[in-house]
């Protein structure tokens, strides 16, 4: 997504000069939390998300301007970036004020509207050429995973011309063109990030193009390592015949992937309102109570609780829209699916609530459902038959393994449209050849054929089967590039490497990719 800033990453350890004991006159270099990396002073950062880093720098710039008595406006950029607009006639004062305020900070200014390298603000200039649009930021480096933030996630400083007749901005923003008649420039105030700011009228009003509705996310999760789970599942499964691969322990094995999947939401999708965890397993030891995390037991949302317990993910997925209090618009994800970089909700929804789903390149294939097939393959065929009978169109592709957007109202409509199929699937304790798969892909193609969904073709998604020999290199490359919106680390049913090796590789990768604990994690020790 072009407008979604991505954190950069260096996966390979690089020589880092720790400069706490230096003879240079720059006081920034004497700080213990600053390193020199490729010639750039970099703040060794704590657990800040990209947005938190931007906000911290934005407030620091605002404080510097306030201290110098320099007036400014807060503006919403055309890409929703936060912008501080200042009078270009006061450029020298502004440059001096920022240099003074950040004399001991690794604060940089990176020009946007002209070519040029970032300059250290403490050196007393904002750019080598007279840029009117600058990204201001402190480069940040997380030392374990080498996660770093720079200009891509920064706030913006713009130099405007405030004339008697009109106001001229160097580029359009969310509300205005580059010129605004002075008599139309009505000021108002807005409270954002705990501060009151001067701005232009309607600058931060909801826009028709905004996604203003609440969005929740649901994770389904099973702790297959639980002895109680294994005992109950084995006893119940004795009376059933399951499909190819459906009884493989890989489907239930877990190595705390859920912790990192939830971290990915915290780091890269801060617009998510609530997280729901659909599980009947004991809670993981790392999860602490939190007002935005809700544990949903099957009896909390299954319409017919007499069918419980269930070990069938299709059954769980057929009942998600009955979760009490869940938002009309929500995402569904498994614990092995992760958000890979900062994304906006428009990757999943249009402003009008149309859902966007990602098709995989994999075809469903021919043939009908068969007990010998996997439950995943069978459900795709049952879905295809229902949609053919209802719409006279054939579905050909599976969906990508990533978070999928859903709407409660459409799911309720589908349950009324296919009541027997929903009820049968919800009542099946294990995957069967007659199951529907609501979240993959019945909902999405039903919505497509009724005008409530479109195919998302811009999202970048990667699937890695972590039990194959090639997986480690793929994860190493992903860690270095961080160029995927979403990715899945699937535990394949036909492994080439052992469980212990797979556990080590995946755990090390996840800890480096998502190094910051989320607010709902218990403190170690």
Q: Is residue 238 part of a domain?
A: yes
Q: With residue 52 as reference, give the H or E element that holds it.
A: helix 50-67
Domain presence at residue 522: no
Regarding whether 220 and 191 lie in a shared domain, the answer is: no
Chain segment 371-403, per-residue pLDDT in tens: 888 889 999 999 999 999 999 999 999 999 999
Q: What confidence score (pLDDT) does residue 503 get?
A: 95
pLDDT per residue as tens digits for the range 177-200: 999 999 999 999 999 999 999 999
Please state the pTM of the whole predicted model: 0.89
CATH number for the domain spanning 453: value is 3.90.550
Q: Clarify whether residues 191 and 137 are in a common domain.
A: yes
Answer with the one of 200, 234, 268 that is the final residue of a domain.
200
pLDDT digits (tens, 9 = 90+) for 426-439: 999 999 999 999 99
1 domain-assigned: no
- pLDDT number for residue 242: 53
Say whether both 172 and 221 belong to one domain: no
The answer to whether residues 34 and 76 belong to one domain is: yes
Residue 256 CB neighbours (<10 A): 17
509 and 400 within one domain: yes
With respect to residue 41, please indicate whether it lies within any of the assigned structural domains.
yes
Question: In this model, does residue 408 exceed pLDDT 60?
Answer: yes
59 is a domain residue: yes
Which among 147, 167, 200 is the end of a domain? Answer: 200
Say yes or no to pLDDT of 351 above 60: yes
What whole-number distance in Å separates Cα of residue 210 and Cα of residue 82? 15
Confidence class for position 225, pLDDT limits 50, 70, 90: low
Q: Which of 200, 230, 257 is the last residue of a domain?
A: 200
Going by C-alpha positions, the residue among 523, 469, 473 that lies closest to residue 495 is 469
Query: At 20, is the pLDDT very low, low, confident or very high (cuts 50, 70, 90)?
Result: very low
Conformation bin of residue 392: beta by default, left when phi > 0, alpha when psi is -120 to 50: left
Q: Verify that 260 and 174 share a domain, yes or no.
A: no
Burial 421-441 (b: 16+ CB within 10 A, else e): bbebbbbbbbbbbebbbbbbb
- Residue range of the domain that includes 289: 215-513
Q: Are residues 228 and 190 in the same domain?
A: no
- Residue 432 shares a structural domain with residue 283: yes
Kindly state whether residues 187 and 229 are assigned to the same domain.
no
Strands 147-149 and 73-76: unpaired
Give the separation between CA 293 and CA 91, rounded to whole angstroms.
47
Q: Give the 3-state secondary structure of 372-414.
A: CCCHHHHHHHHHHHHHHHHHCCCCCEEECCCCEEEEHHHHHHH
Domain tally, the chain: 2
- Residue 206 inside a domain? The answer is no
Burial of 160 (0-12, 13-18, 19+ CB in 10 A): buried
- Contacts of residue 163, defined as CB under 8 A and 6 or more positions apart, other chains included, come to 182
User: What's the chain's length in residues?
Assistant: 525
159 and 252 belong to one structural domain: no
The answer to whether residue 423 is domain-embedded is: yes
Same domain, 405 and 351: yes
| Same domain for 151 and 299 | no
> What is the per-residue DSSP string for 466-480?
TTSTTHHHHHHHHHH
């Amino acid at each position: 997504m072009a407008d979604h800033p991505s954190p950069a990453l260096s996966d390979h350890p690089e020589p880092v000069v720790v400069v706490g004991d230096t003879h240079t006159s720059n006081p920034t270099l004497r700080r213990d939390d600053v390193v020199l990396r490729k010639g750039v002073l970099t703040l060794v950062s704590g657990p800040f998300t990209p947005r938190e880093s931007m906000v911290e720098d934005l407030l620091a710039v605002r404080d510097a301007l306030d201290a110098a008595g320099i007036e400014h406006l807060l503006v919403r950029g055309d890409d929703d970036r936060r912008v501080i607009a200042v009078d270009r006639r006061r450029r020298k004062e502004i440059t001096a004020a920022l240099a003074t305020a950040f004399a001991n900070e690794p604060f940089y200014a990176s020009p946007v509207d002209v070519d040029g390298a970032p300059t250290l603000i403490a050196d007393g200039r904002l750019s080598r050429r007279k840029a009117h649009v600058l990204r201001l930021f402190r480069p940040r480096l997380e030392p374990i995973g080498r996660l770093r933030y720079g200009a891509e996630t920064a706030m913006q400083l713009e130099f405007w011309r405030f004339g008697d007749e009109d106001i001229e901005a160097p580029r359009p923003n969310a509300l205005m063109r580059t010129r605004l008649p002075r008599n139309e420039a009505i000021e108002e105030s807005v409270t954002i990030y705990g501060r009151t700011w001067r701005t232009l009228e309607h600058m931060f009003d909801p826009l028709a193009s905004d996604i203003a509705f609440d969005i929740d996310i649901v994770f389904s999760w099973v702790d297959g390592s639980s002895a109680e789970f294994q005992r109950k599942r084995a006893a119940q499964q004795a009376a059933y015949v399951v499909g190819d691969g459906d009884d493989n322990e890989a489907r239930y094995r877990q190595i705390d992937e859920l912790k990192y999947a939830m971290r990915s939401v915290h780091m890269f999708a801060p617009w998510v309102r609530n997280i729901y965890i659909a599980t009947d397993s004991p809670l993981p030891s790392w999860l602490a109570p939190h007002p935005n995390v809700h544990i949903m037991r099957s009896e909390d949302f299954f319409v017919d609780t007499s069918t419980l317990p269930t070990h069938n993910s299709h059954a769980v997925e057929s009942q998600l829209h009955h979760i009490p209090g869940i938002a009309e618009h929500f995402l569904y994800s498994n614990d092995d699916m992760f958000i890979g970089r900062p994304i906006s909700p428009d990757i999943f929804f249009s402003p009008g609530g149309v859902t966007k789903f990602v098709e995989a390149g994999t075809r469903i294939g021919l043939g009908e459902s068969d007990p010998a097939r996997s439950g995943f393959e069978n459900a795709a065929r049952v879905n295809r038959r229902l949609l053919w009978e209802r719409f006279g169109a054939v579905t050909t592709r599976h969906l990508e393994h990533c978070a999928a957007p859903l709407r409660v109202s459409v799911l309720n409509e589908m349950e009324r449209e296919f009541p027997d199929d929903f009820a049968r699937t919800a009542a099946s304790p294990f995957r069967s050849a007659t199951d529907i798969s609501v979240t993959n892909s019945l909902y999405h193609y039903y919505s497509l054929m009724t005008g409530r969904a479109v195919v998302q073709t811009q999202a970048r998604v990667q699937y890695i089967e972590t039990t194959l020999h090639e997986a480690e290199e793929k994860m190493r490359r992903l860690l270095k590039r961080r160029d995927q919106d979403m990715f899945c680390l699937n535990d394949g049913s036909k492994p080439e490497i052992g469980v212990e090796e797979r556990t080590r590789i995946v755990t090390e990768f996840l800890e480096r990719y998502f190094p910051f604990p989320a607010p709902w994690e218990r403190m170690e020790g």
